[in-house]
Amino acid sequence: MTTIFTPLTLKNGTTIKNRFAKAALSETLGNKNYQPTKELISLYQKWAQGGTGLLITGNVMVDRNARGEYGNIVVDHQQDLNLLKKWALTGTTNDTKIFMQLNHPGKQSPKTISKEPVAPSAVPMTGSNGFAFNTPRALSIEEIKQIINKFIEAAAIAQQAGFSGVEIHAAHGYLLNQFLSPHDNQRNDEYGGTLENRMRILTEIYTGIREKVGRDFPIALKINSSDFRSDGFSEEDSLQVIQKMDQLGIDLIEISGGNYENPKMQGIGKGAFFIDYAQKVKQTISTPIIVIGGFNTATGMENAIQNNETDFIGLARPLVMVPDLPNQLKWGNFTSVKLHHLTTGSKKLDKKVGSLIGLSFYQQQMLRIAEGKAIQHTTNAWGALLFSLKHQGLSALMPQRDKE
């Protein structure tokens, strides 16, 4: 397992000590003022001590009036810089790097949080979870400029607090993904229509942050390989956006979606599609990439690095179940991780609350890690559901996003 522990230096000179990257997870460990709690800080200390080279935080929102879910952290001038400094300090122990993931939910802000969410266009959420979201209002150009400035401001605060870098979240159906998608973005001004216009908000956020923080501070991008819908953000679009960001000087690109080791797990061939896509990306850009999804064996992780199919192994839920996975692998104590399929015992109920069960279980385990307790290994979903209800009340039963 030598390759996976080889350091990698980004284009701007920042060196990541190994090829493990903790991808963003929804920790929901912010307090009522949207600040980091001692539990959140403790959680990241455990991950840093566990040997992961790069930690990417869960969603940090750039506007306290536009949040995606309960427990989000918000970074703006009202934030307590001392708490952010503590978070950054613990996340950089053991020669670890920590990137703050910056996000705006757009229309993907549930009714329990936003009476009138904003989006590129007034296109409502659809699908089985659509009922949980109010129809958005289209942003004015002036408001788009304000959001761009909020991303820039948040990045500057992250740098001041001691974070190693930032990641711009343009995936998973959030605001920047909405701008990129022709389904969600039906504007006819300079921020809509052609792909160049649809990506304008992203390029302006990047260039604005770069101008503010300088070349030595890494900026990463999280982007979908595709939205997997006929009228959405396509593979071709994604590749062009990635190539443009590569040309502009982005330091790291995280590609989300699909399943690496077991394509069948995703259904409809998305896994195989995604592997092919990641390889296409690698052939056309010089920026290092993170591939996330489906890594659960030591052999699969090592092979992906050795075969140059990705530069970093993106791990989310496996690092909840095994917080010191990199250390264990280094010491020869890790071969694979099993992610549990939780059930209430009722197929009908599982179908209704399946996404909530998964999110709640891992949020519950992250809190246990923070408190120094052992991870629970179970297939019983009721503990996770009760945990969510205890922390969020009945609002927990409302979907908080279109998909994970």
- Domains, the chain, in order of start with CATH, read 1-338 (3.20.20.70), 339-403 (no CATH)
SS (H, E, C) the chain: CCHHHCCEECCCCCEECCCEEECCCCCCCECCCCCECHHHHHHHHHHHHCCCCEEECCCEECCCCCCCCCCCEECCCCCCHHHHHHHHHHHCHHHCEEEEEEECCCCCCCCCCCCCCEECCCCCCCCCCHHHCCCCEECCHHHHHHHHHHHHHHHHHHHHHCCCEEEEEECCCCHHHHHHCCCCCCCCCCCCCCHHHHCHHHHHHHHHHHHHHCCCCCEEEEEECCCCCCCCCCHHHHHHHHHHHHHHCCCEEEEECCCCCCHHHCCCCHHHHHHHHHHHHHHHCCCCEEEECCCCEHHHHHHHHHCCCCCEEEECHHHHHCCCHHHHHHCCCCCECCCCCCECCCHHHHHHHHHHHHHHHHHHHHHHHHCCCCCCCCCECHHHHHHHHHHHHHHHHCCCCCCC
From the list 251, 316, 246, 238, the residue with the least C-alpha distance to 278 is 238
More confident: 228 or 85: 85
Non-local (6+) Cβ contacts of 247 within 8 A are: none
CA distance 41 to 103: 20
* pLDDT at 268 (0 to 100): 37
pLDDT of 118 > 80? The answer is yes
Residue 61 burial by CB count (10 A; 0-12/13-18/19+): exposed, middle or buried? buried
**Cα-flanking dihedrals φ and ψ of residue 135, to 5°?**
-65, 130
More confident: 360 or 244: 244
Name the pLDDT band for 401 (thresholds 50, 70, 90). low
pLDDT average, residue stretch 133-148: 97
Q: At what angle do helices 200-213 and 141-161 cross, to 10 degrees?
A: 40
Beta-sheet pairing, 252-256 with 289-292: parallel
Largest CA distance in the chain: 57
Residue 151 burial by CB count (10 A; 0-12/13-18/19+): exposed, middle or buried? buried
CA distance 56 to 59: 9
CA distances, 80 to each of 37, 75, 87 (Å): 11, 9, 11
More confident: 132 or 251: 251
Non-local (6+) Cβ contacts of 16 within 8 A are: 7, 8, 9, 10, 53, 54, 97, 312
More confident: 282 or 275: 282
Tokens encoding 404: 């994970």
**Cα-flanking dihedrals φ and ψ of residue 96, to 5°?**
-95, 150
The per-residue pLDDT of the chain, averaged, comes to 89
More confident: 394 or 214: 214
Lowest pLDDT segment from 58-72, 75-89, 305-319, 373-387 = 373-387
Name the pLDDT band for 232 (thresholds 50, 70, 90). confident
* pLDDT at 29 (0 to 100): 95
More confident: 242 or 353: 242
Handedness of CA 20, 23, 27, 30 (dihedral sign): positive
* pLDDT at 395 (0 to 100): 57
pLDDT average, residue stretch 209-231: 92
Tokens 């952010």 found at: 84
| Ramachandran sector of residue 224 (left: φ over 0; alpha: ψ -120 to 50; beta: rest) | beta
pLDDT average, residue stretch 286-298: 89
CA distance 280 to 59: 28
pLDDT of 176 > 60? The answer is yes
From the list 85, 210, 91, the residue with the least C-alpha distance to 158 is 85
Quick: pLDDT tens for 8-21: 999 999 999 999 99
**What's the alpha-carbon Rg for the chain, to the nearest Å?**
20
CA distance 384 to 361: 5
Quick: pLDDT tens for 29-80: 999 999 999 999 999 999 999 999 999 999 999 999 999 988 999 999 999 9
CA distance 25 to 161: 21
User: Partners of 9 in the beta sheet?
Assistant: 15
Name the pLDDT band for 262 (thresholds 50, 70, 90). very low
